[in-house]
Amino acid sequence: MTQDRFILSVFDLNLWCTVLECRFVVDDVAALGAIIDADLEEDQAFVDSYTVDADELRAINQRFGTDFRPESTGLTEFEIELEREHQRIGQGSLREVPYLVHTRYELPLMIDGRKKLARLTGGETAKAYGEDAFDVWVEKGLLHKQVIFVPIPEEHRSGLFDTSVKGYRNVYYTLKGEEWRIPAMELLWKACERGARWSENYERMEGMLFGYDDEQNDWWIEHQRARRGKTENDL
């Protein structure tokens, strides 16, 4: 019998990070899909992430023998998420990283002073995913915020779902006193847009601007190089 591993997690909507996880084995993926009403014809490999409500969680606990209790976190504003484990480890092996990366943890890392810069991307008028959570800390005076509108050339809009969209928003947050990182990051990306090939040096500069230290950047670059089978300066 084929067994697949899935992960239930509690996502704190205020700190914008995962605070509790549970890995469990699924011996019948169709049964799990039925519980959460997933369209497995559309998502045949079950690779999407799903939000689970309280009734669905009770059914999962009963059917698969889990004992996942979000109430143990003491949180009042959270979401319960479900995803297949390979989604996390297959695209970048984030669980193998020996330090906290910014993915899903960047707001608490910034509050703790360990991350210097965050970049969210939002629609032309719509807020970016997580923007409200970060804005709370702007209002508290801990973070600086800057929004940069990035126009999409008219010749590139024909491939968009909504051809009336004129661009998107890069929403940057820094610790106070670290605002210089925003124009530096913009300059880095503009260099690539102008034809410079993304390389190990660019990867390192981006990591430094986000606030990772030399040891962390060294590990990340070596890991990416080994995973992709690339040579130096050919990320």
Instruction: Tell me what pLDDT residue 166 has.
Output: 78
Interhelix angle 214-228/200-210, nearest 10 degrees: 140
- Identify whether the C-beta of residue 8 lies closer than 8 Å to the C-beta of residue 64: no
Range name among 58-67, 102-111, 195-204, 222-231 with the lowest pLDDT average:
222-231
For 57-112, the pLDDT digits (tens) are: 999 999 999 999 999 999 999 999 999 886 543 444 566 788 888 888 999 999 99
Range name among 59-63, 209-213, 220-224 with the lowest pLDDT average:
220-224
- Identify whether the C-beta of residue 9 lies closer than 8 Å to the C-beta of residue 70: no
pTM exceeds cut of 0.85: no
For 177-186, the pLDDT digits (tens) are: 999 999 999 9
To which residue do tokens 């990416």 refer? 224
Instruction: Tell me what pLDDT residue 91 has.
Output: 46
Nearest Cα to 14, choosing from 163, 140, 180? 140
In total, the chain counts a number of residues equal to 235
Range name among 5-14, 72-81, 148-157 with the lowest pLDDT average:
148-157
- Identify whether the C-beta of residue 52 lies closer than 8 Å to the C-beta of residue 32: no
Amino acid at 180: W
Give the Cα separation of 120 and 143 in Å (integer): 14
Range name among 4-18, 117-131, 170-184, 198-212 with the lowest pLDDT average:
117-131
Q: Report the pLDDT averaged over residues 156-161.
A: 58
3-state secondary structure string across 96-144: HCCCCCCCCCHHHHHHCCCCCEEEEEECCCCCCCCHHHHHHHHHCCCEE
Give the Cα separation of 9 and 96 in Å (integer): 18
Instruction: Tell me what pLDDT residue 150 has.
Output: 83
Question: Residue 52 — φ and ψ, nearest 5°?
Answer: -110, 135
Our CA angle for 89, 93, 98, nearest 5°, is 130
Task: Look up residue 114 and give its two tokens.
Answer: 């360990």
Q: Is the pLDDT of residue 154 over 60?
A: yes
3-state secondary structure of 183: helix
